[in-house]
C-alpha cells in the first residue's frame, strides 16, 4: 500500500485507487466516534480514493448501541467503506490495522481525581498496547484520544515493543484548533489566515497554548501574531486560560464533553500525519519526547511537528523565553507525575 504523499496531486491526495486499509476505532459506540466514523467513511481523512475496512471496538454492554451505529454507517451508502467489523475483542479489532483511533476509555465520574482516572485507564491501554503489538501492522499509526491521552499513549507504546515508539501519538489538535479559532476571532480574520499556533505539553489544564510563533495573514501580508494582537497581557493570560478551560466550558454548557470538535480534530491529526503538512507549517501532536527543548525524555509531550512522507519531525530552534519556559516545565512535571502514577498502577497489578 502507498502512503499518501502530498506530491501525488494538487490537493495532496493520490489519484490511484488503492486496496482497502484496516482502520480501528475504539469506543466506537461513543459520542466522538459517532462524528468520527462519518469522516473516515467519507474519505476526508485517508483520501477520496482510499477504501477502508472499519474495525469497531467497544465493550459488551454497548454492542446494541453499536448495532445502530452500524446500520447508520450502511445507510450512508458511501463507496469507500468496504467492511465493518464490530467486536469486543481487541485481538480481532487490531488485526492488520494501518491506523488506530483509541477513543474508548473509562470516563471521569463525579469526585474522581485525575489519579483515579489514570488508574482506571491504565489497564485498558495496556491490553490494547499488547493487542497492537501482536496483531497490527508494524507501521500502524496510533492516535490516542481517550483521556488522560498523553499518558495513555505512553502506556500503550510501552506494551507494544515491536512497534516503533514514534508511531504512538496523543491528541492535542483540538486544543490547537481552539487556539487558532480564538486568535482568528480576536483578529477578525477567518481561521485559515492563522498558522503555527502551538500547544505544548499535556492535554490538560497545564497545557501551554503558545501564539509567540504564530502568524496571521492580513490583507495578503504575513505578520507575527504577537505584534498584530499587540497585547501581551491578553496573549499570556486571557488567551492561555481560555484554551486551557475550553473543554470545561463546553461541558458546563452542553452537559457532555466536546465530541463533534474532538472528532474533527482526530481526523485533522490523522490526515496530516498521513499526507503531510505544507512547507513552513506545523501542527501540534503529543509525541514521545526526544529531549527537544529540554523536555524530559520518555513522556508523551505535545510539540510542534512538521510531517513529510508519513513521518513527523519536531520543529527545532524556536525561541523559548522565560515565561514559556516556566509553562513548559509545569506541564512536563505533570506528565512525569502521571508516568510515575501509571507505573505504580501497572506494577501493582
Which chain residues interact with ligand NAI by CB under 6 A?
A: 26-27, 29-33, 57-59, 62, 103-107, 124, 145-147, 149, 171, 174, 203, 257-259, 262
For ligand NAI, give the closer residue by CB, 114 or 313: 114
Q: Sort 348 into a burial class: Cβ within 10 Å, 0-12 / 13-18 / 19+.
A: exposed
| 58 is annotated as contributing to ligand binding | yes
Q: Which residues lie closer than 8 Å to 193 by C-beta, 6 or more apart?
A: 184, 187, 216, 217, 218
The candidate with the shortest Cα–Cα distance to 99, out of 62, 53, 60, 33, is: 53
> Within a 10 A sphere around the Cβ of 111, how many other Cβ atoms?
6
For ligand NAI, give the closer residue by CB, 62 or 132: 62
Q: Output the smallest distance, CB 197 to ligand NAI, in A.
A: 15
Q: Strand pairing partners for 311?
A: 308
Q: Output the smallest distance, CB 262 to ligand NAI, in A.
A: 4
> Within a 10 A sphere around the Cβ of 14, how many other Cβ atoms?
19
> What amino acid positions are annotated as catalytic residues?
203
User: In this structure, what C-alpha cell is assigned to residue 156?
Assistant: 500503550
**Three-class DSSP category at 74:** helix
Q: At which residue does the C-alpha cell 483511533 appear?
A: 101
Residue 102, preceding peptide bond in cis (omega within 30° of 0): no
**Three-class DSSP category at 231:** coil
For ligand NAI, give the closer residue by CB, 4 or 199: 199
| 139 is annotated as contributing to ligand binding | no
| 114 is annotated as contributing to ligand binding | yes
Q: Output the smallest distance, CB 189 to ligand NAI, in A.
A: 24
Residue with the closest Cβ to ligand NAI? Answer: 30
For ligand NAI, give the closer residue by CB, 6 or 173: 173
Q: How far apart are CA 141 and CA 149, in angstroms?
A: 15
| 108 is annotated as contributing to ligand binding | yes
| 315 is annotated as contributing to ligand binding | no
Q: Output the smallest distance, CB 102 to ligand NAI, in A.
A: 9
> Which residues belong to the annotated binding site for substrate?
108, 114, 147, 178
> Which residues belong to the annotated binding site for NAD(+)?
58, 121, 145-147
Amino acid at each position: 500500500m502507498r502512503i499518501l504523499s502530498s506530491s501525488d496531486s494538487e490537493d495532496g491526495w493520490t489519484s490511484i485507487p488503492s486496496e482497502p486499509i484496516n482502520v480501528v476505532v475504539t469506543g466506537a459506540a461513543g459520542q466522538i466516534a459517532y462524528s468520527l466514523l462519518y469522516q473516515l467513511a467519507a474519505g476526508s481523512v485517508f483520501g477520496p480514493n482510499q477504501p477502508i475496512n472499519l474495525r469497531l471496538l467497544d465493550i459488551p454492554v454497548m454492542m446494541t448501541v453499536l448495532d445502530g451505529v452500524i446500520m447508520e454507517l450502511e445507510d450512508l451508502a458511501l463507496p469507500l467503506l468496504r467492511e465493518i467489523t464490530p467486536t469486543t475483542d481487541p485481538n480481532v479489532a487490531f488485526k492488520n490495522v494501518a491506523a488506530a483511533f483509541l477513543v474508548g476509555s473509562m470516563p471521569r465520574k463525579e469526585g474522581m481525581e485525575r489519579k483515579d482516572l489514570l488508574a482506571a485507564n491504565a489497564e485498558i491501554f495496556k491490553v490494547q498496547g499488547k493487542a497492537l503489538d501482536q496483531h497490527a501492522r508494524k507501521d500502524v499509526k496510533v492516535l490516542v484520544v481517550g483521556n488522560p491521552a498523553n499518558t495513555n499513549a505512553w502506556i500503550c507504546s510501552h506494551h507494544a515493543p515491536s512497534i516503533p515508539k514514534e508511531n504512538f501519538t496523543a491528541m492535542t489538535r483540538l486544543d490547537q484548533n481552539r487556539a487558532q479559532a480564538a486568535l482568528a476571532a480576536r483578529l477578525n480574520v477567518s481561521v485559515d489566515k492563522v498558522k503555527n499556533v502551538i500547544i505544548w505539553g499535556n492535554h490538560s489544564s497545564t497545557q501551554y497554548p503558545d501564539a509567540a510563533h504564530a502568524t496571521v495573514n492580513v490583507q495578503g501580508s504575513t505578520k507575527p501574531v504577537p505584534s498584530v494582537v499587540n497585547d501581551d497581557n491578553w496573549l499570556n493570560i486571557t488567551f492561555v486560560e481560555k484554551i486551557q478551560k475550553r473543554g470545561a466550558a463546553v461541558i458546563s454548557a452542553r452537559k457532555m464533553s466536546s465530541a463533534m470538535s474532538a472528532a474533527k480534530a482526530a481526523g485533522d491529526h490523522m490526515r496530516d500525519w498521513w499526507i503531510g503538512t505544507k512547507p513552513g507549517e506545523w501542527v501540534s501532536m503529543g509525541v514521545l519526547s526526544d529531549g527537544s527543548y529540554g523536555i524530559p525524555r520518555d513522556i508523551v509531550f505535545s510539540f510542534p511537528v512538521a510531517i513529510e512522507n508519513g513521518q513527523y519531525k519536531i520543529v527545532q530552534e524556536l525561541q523559548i523565553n522565560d515565561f514559556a519556559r516556566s509553562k513548559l516545565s509545569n506541564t512536563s512535571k505533570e506528565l512525569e507525575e502521571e508516568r510515575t502514577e501509571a507505573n505504580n498502577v501497572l506494577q501493582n497489578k
